């Protein structure tokens, strides 16, 4: 039996979650979370951890546009996605909610505009 | 110089100002004007491109710009007027607001009520007394955030971060994703003031070391910063021998606390609280200057923007009522607190109604009871598993508690096992 201690990152509360796993890596117990989201997080964290990616992309007019991933991206692919986004240019008129890259590097996450272009 | 009248003037178009405006509108006020210093509405949220905002307020996790956009959309849809590129230079006790904008130069507004929602700023190097040379490459974390997220400049490649506040942690991750190496995050206290989840997802995810009870003892470099000397400190924050190290870097980011940007009031307009750095207010967030309200980070620094919006809505509704000439409360109850608490907001109650009192503790407590008494009688007791200075706490005071007991309110924290 293995035990893992996690800090939940789903909300600002930051619950300390204890996960117990069998020797084959099967999750047998999750404790310490105060909501269902925490359990989902702990399960993902012990099987295949993902993170929301937030960064910026260049607009055609040279300004920066804030973007986010529509869902979690596998942790080990974050730097690849950053690299991919360096070569992406968004239309000058891109609006909040517009998709800039669909299914980035096959991760299943879209890269979506999250705000207005900066100065 | 143009002079005009407006029933409600709001200084600042960030999350607090916009939330106050929307709440005032919903309370029936139509003559509202927001004055914003920057070129766009949104305040600091426009540069906080990371996610983690809005879980309380909207039940979903938004980025800073997305959170701001929700309010900006409401402001525009409701037709609330706003001026951008407009700086307020003064407010007088008769509620005359003096402002200046590139478009119309100086102008004055006679306001029915004023809400000040000017936010806060970061503690700079000059306020920290760090010895050493004065090279370039020393920035506050928020300045670096503006460079990276808005302007698209990287401040450097080899980074040391002093202070483990949330902005510093967020910037550690941001700079790493953009290709920089964050050598260390140093925290003078034995605990971080940032959220546990930010330690996890911004430092641990990227293997960035956090040194608690450590600080910078000297900055090195002539033109550009070349490195920092680091010392370990004891519980009194004094250096202890044996813990010295030198960390080479080309950039030092400071994330050492936020200070309310309260200059409009601190010049004598309203009474201030020396601990919060903001004004002394009642349950409606009205200051000692009649009809002048304060909310958001200019009043006290909040952990979450969700709480800023919540507090600003209180001020918005109350300012609308004031501008309308509603009947005012006539009680005068002070809010006191014990030695374990650093501050409480509001500091006084002038009207008998349900009120949340926000407070912060001085130290970390594992297990404690938060006790409220009114006029010497205990009206509520709440057990807490953990209390920390970085986490704002709330106690709920009901109208009934105040009506059934006469006297001041005292909030105390009794650690378990005492």
CATH of the domain at A94: 3.10.530.10
If asked whether residues A43 and A76 sit together in one domain, one would say: no
If asked whether residues B245 and B143 sit together in one domain, one would say: yes
If asked whether residues A68 and A92 sit together in one domain, one would say: yes
If asked whether residues B344 and B290 sit together in one domain, one would say: no
CB pairs under 8 A between A and B: 89
Tell whether B64 lies on the interface with A, counting CB pairs under 8 A: yes
The runs of H, that is alpha helices, within chain A are 36-47, 78-86
- Cα(B50)–Cα(B195) distance, integer angstroms: 14
Smallest Cβ–Cβ distance between A119 and the set B39, B51, B148 belongs to B39
- Cα(A66)–Cα(A112) distance, integer angstroms: 9
- Cα(A92)–Cα(A102) distance, integer angstroms: 18
Task: Give domain status of residue A118, yes or no.
Answer: no
Where among B283, B311, B328 does a domain terminate?
Answer: B328
- Cα(B245)–Cα(B339) distance, integer angstroms: 36
B47: which chain A residues are within 8 Å (Cβ-Cβ)?
118
**Under 8 Å between Cβ of B409 and B390:** no
CATH of the domain at B20: 3.50.50.60
**Largest Cα–Cα distance in chain A?**
56
Smallest Cβ–Cβ distance between A7 and the set B46, B197, B304 belongs to B197
Q: Which of A88, A51, A73, A57 shows the shortest CA–CA distance to B149?
A: A57
Nearest chain A Cα distance for residue B95, angstroms: 33
Cβ neighbors of B327 (< 8 A, separation 6 or more) are none
B180: which chain A residues are within 8 Å (Cβ-Cβ)?
none
If asked whether residues B9 and B96 sit together in one domain, one would say: yes
pLDDT tens, per residue, chain B with 418 residues: 999 999 999 999 999 999 999 999 999 999 999 999 999 999 999 999 999 999 989 999 999 999 999 999 999 999 999 999 999 999 999 999 999 998 889 999 999 999 999 999 999 999 999 999 999 999 999 999 999 999 999 999 999 999 999 999 999 999 999 999 999 999 999 988 888 899 999 999 999 999 999 999 999 999 999 999 999 999 999 999 887 999 999 999 999 999 999 999 988 999 999 999 999 999 999 999 999 999 999 999 999 999 999 999 999 999 999 999 998 888 999 999 999 999 999 999 999 999 999 999 998 898 999 999 999 899 999 999 889 888 899 999 999 999 999 999 999 999 987 5
**Count of C-beta atoms within a 10 Å radius of residue B211:** 17
Q: Which pLDDT belongs to residue A119?
A: 62
| Average pLDDT estimate for A20-42 | 89
Tell whether B354 lies on the interface with A, counting CB pairs under 8 A: no
B150: which chain A residues are within 8 Å (Cβ-Cβ)?
64, 118-119
Where among A10, A32, A47 does a domain terminate?
Answer: A47
Mutate to test the interface with A, among B43, B45, B51, B302 (most CBs of A within 10 A): B51
Tell whether B195 lies on the interface with A, counting CB pairs under 8 A: yes
- Cα(B37)–Cα(B12) distance, integer angstroms: 7
- Cα(A79)–Cα(B106) distance, integer angstroms: 49
- Cα(B175)–Cα(B159) distance, integer angstroms: 8
Smallest Cβ–Cβ distance between A75 and the set B68, B205, B304 belongs to B205
B377: containing domain: 330-418
Angle at the Cα of B51 from the Cα atoms of B45 and B43, rounded to 5 degrees: 0
Q: Which two tokens stand for residue B232?
A: 């370990």
Q: Do B69 and A115 touch (CB under 8 A)?
A: yes
B67: which chain A residues are within 8 Å (Cβ-Cβ)?
none
Nearest chain B Cα distance for residue A15, angstroms: 8
If asked whether residues A67 and A98 sit together in one domain, one would say: yes
A72: containing domain: 54-113
Angle at the Cα of B17 from the Cα atoms of B11 and B19, rounded to 5 degrees: 160
Smallest Cβ–Cβ distance between A55 and the set B40, B177, B205 belongs to B177
Q: Which pLDDT belongs to residue B418?
A: 56
Q: Which two tokens stand for residue A39?
A: 């359990």
Domain count of chain A? 2
In the block, residue with structure tokens 């407590």: B365
In what order do the strands lie in the sheet containing A111-113?
A: A89-90, A54-59, A64-69, A111-113, A99-101
What is residue A75's DSSP assignment? G
Q: What is the dihedral of CA B167, B173, B174, B177, to 10 degrees?
A: 180
Q: Do A56 and B149 touch (CB under 8 A)?
A: yes
Establish whether the linkage from the previous residue to A60 is cis, with ω within 30° of 0: no
In the block, residue with structure tokens 């240019």: A89
CATH of the domain at B375: 2.60.40
**Under 8 Å between Cβ of B63 and A68:** yes
Tell whether B150 lies on the interface with A, counting CB pairs under 8 A: yes
User: Strands B258-260, B120-122: parallel, antiparallel or unpaired by DSSP?
Assistant: antiparallel
If asked whether residues A99 and A63 sit together in one domain, one would say: yes
Mutate to test the interface with B, among A66, A81, A86, A98 (most CBs of B within 10 A): A66
Mutate to test the interface with A, among B62, B177, B178, B302 (most CBs of A within 10 A): B177
Q: Which two tokens stand for residue B160?
A: 């040391």
CATH of the domain at A19: 2.20.25
pLDDT digits (tens, 9 = 90+) for B274-301: 999 999 999 999 999 999 999 999 999 9
Q: What is the 3-state secondary structure (H, E, C) of chain B?
A: CEEEEEEEEEECCCHHHHHHHHHHHHCCCCCEEEECCCCCCCHHHHHCCCEEECCCCCCCCEEHHHHHHHHHHHHHHCCCEEECCEEEEEECCCCEEEEEECCCEEEEEEEEEEEECCCEEECCHHHCCCCECCCECEEEHHHHHHHHHHHCCCCCCEEEEECCCHHHHHHHHHHHHCCCEEEEEEECCCCCCCCHHHHHHHHHHHCCCEEECEEEEEEECCCECCEEEEEEECCCCCEEEEEEEEEECCEEEECCCEEECCHHHHCCCCCECCCCCCECCCCCCECCCCCEEECHHHCCCCCCHHHHHHHHHHHHHHHHHHHHCCCCCCCCEEEEECCCEEEEECCEECCCCCEEEEEEECCCEEEEEEEEEECCEEEEEEEEEEECCCCCEEEEECHHHHHHCCCCEEEEEEECCC
Task: Give domain status of residue A83, yes or no.
Answer: yes
B303: which chain A residues are within 8 Å (Cβ-Cβ)?
12
In the predicted structure, residue A24 carries a pLDDT above the cut 90: no
- Cα(B240)–Cα(B382) distance, integer angstroms: 39
Domain count of chain B? 3
Task: Give domain status of residue A119, yes or no.
Answer: no
Task: Name the residue in chain B with its Cα closest to that of A6.
Answer: B200
- Cα(B332)–Cα(B335) distance, integer angstroms: 10
């Amino acid at each position: 039996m293995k035990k893992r201690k996690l800090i939940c990152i789903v909300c600002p509360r930051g619950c300390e979650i204890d996960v117990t796993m069998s020797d084959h890596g099967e999750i047998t117990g999750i404790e310490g979370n105060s909501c269902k989201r925490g359990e989902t997080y702990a399960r993902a964290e012990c099987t295949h951890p993902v993170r929301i990616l937030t960064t910026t992309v260049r607009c055609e007019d040279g300004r920066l546009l804030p973007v986010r991933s529509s869902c979690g991206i596998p942790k080990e692919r974050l730097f690849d996605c950053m690299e991919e986004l360096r070569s992406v240019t968004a239309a000058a008129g891109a609006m909040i909610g517009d998709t800039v890259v669909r299914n980035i590097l096959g991760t299943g996450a879209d890269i979506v505009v999250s705000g207005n272009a900066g100065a | 110089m143009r002079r005009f009248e407006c029933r409600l003037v709001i200084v600042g178009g960030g999350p607090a100002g916009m939330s106050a405006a929307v709440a005032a509108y919903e309370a029936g006020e139509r003559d509202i004007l927001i004055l914003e210093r920057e070129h766009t509405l949104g305040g600091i949220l426009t540069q906080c491109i990371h996610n983690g905002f809005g879980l309380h307020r909207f039940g979903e996790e938004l980025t800073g710009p997305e959170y701001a956009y929700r309010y900006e959309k409401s402001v525009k849809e409701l037709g609330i007027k706003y001026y951008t590129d407009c700086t307020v230079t003064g407010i007088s006790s008769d509620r005359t607001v003096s402002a200046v904008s590139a478009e119309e130069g100086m102008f004055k507004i006679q306001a029915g009520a004023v809400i000040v929602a000017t936010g806060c700023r970061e503690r700079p190097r000059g306020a920290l007394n760090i010895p050493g040379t004065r090279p370039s490459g020393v920035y506050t974390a928020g300045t670096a955030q503006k460079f990276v997220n808005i302007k698209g400049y990287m401040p450097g490649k080899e980074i040391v971060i002093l202070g483990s506040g949330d902005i510093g942690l967020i910037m550690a991750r941001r700079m790493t994703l953009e290709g920089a190496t964050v050598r260390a995050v140093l925290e003078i206290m034995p605990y971080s003031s940032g959220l546990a989840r930010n330690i996890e997802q911004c430092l641990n995810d990227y293997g960035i070391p956090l040194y608690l009870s450590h600080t910078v003892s000297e900055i090195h470099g002539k033109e550009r910063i070349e490195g920092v000397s680091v010392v370990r400190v004891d519980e009194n924050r004094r250096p202890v021998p044996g813990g010295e190290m030198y960390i080479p870097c080309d950039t030092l980011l400071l994330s050492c606390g936020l200070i309310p940007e309260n200059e409009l009031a601190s010049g004598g307009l309203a009474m201030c609280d020396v601990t919060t750095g903001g004004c002394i207010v009642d349950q409606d967030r009205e200051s000692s200057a009649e009809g002048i309200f304060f909310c958001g980070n200019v009043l006290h620094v909040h952990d979450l923007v969700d709480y800023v919006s919540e507090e600003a809505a209180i001020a918005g509704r109350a300012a609308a009522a004031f501008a309308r000439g509603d009947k005012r409360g006539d009680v005068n109850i002070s809010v006191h607190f014990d030695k374990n608490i650093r501050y409480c907001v509001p500091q006084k109650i002038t009207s008998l109604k349900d009120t949340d009192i926000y407070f912060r503790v001085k130290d970390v407590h594992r297990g404690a009871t938060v006790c409220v008494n009114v006029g010497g009688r205990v009206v509520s007791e709440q057990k807490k598993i953990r209390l920390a200075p970085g986490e704002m706490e709330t106690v709920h005071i009901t109208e009934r508690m105040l009506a059934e007991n006469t006297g001041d309110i005292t909030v105390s924290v009794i650690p378990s096992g005492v």
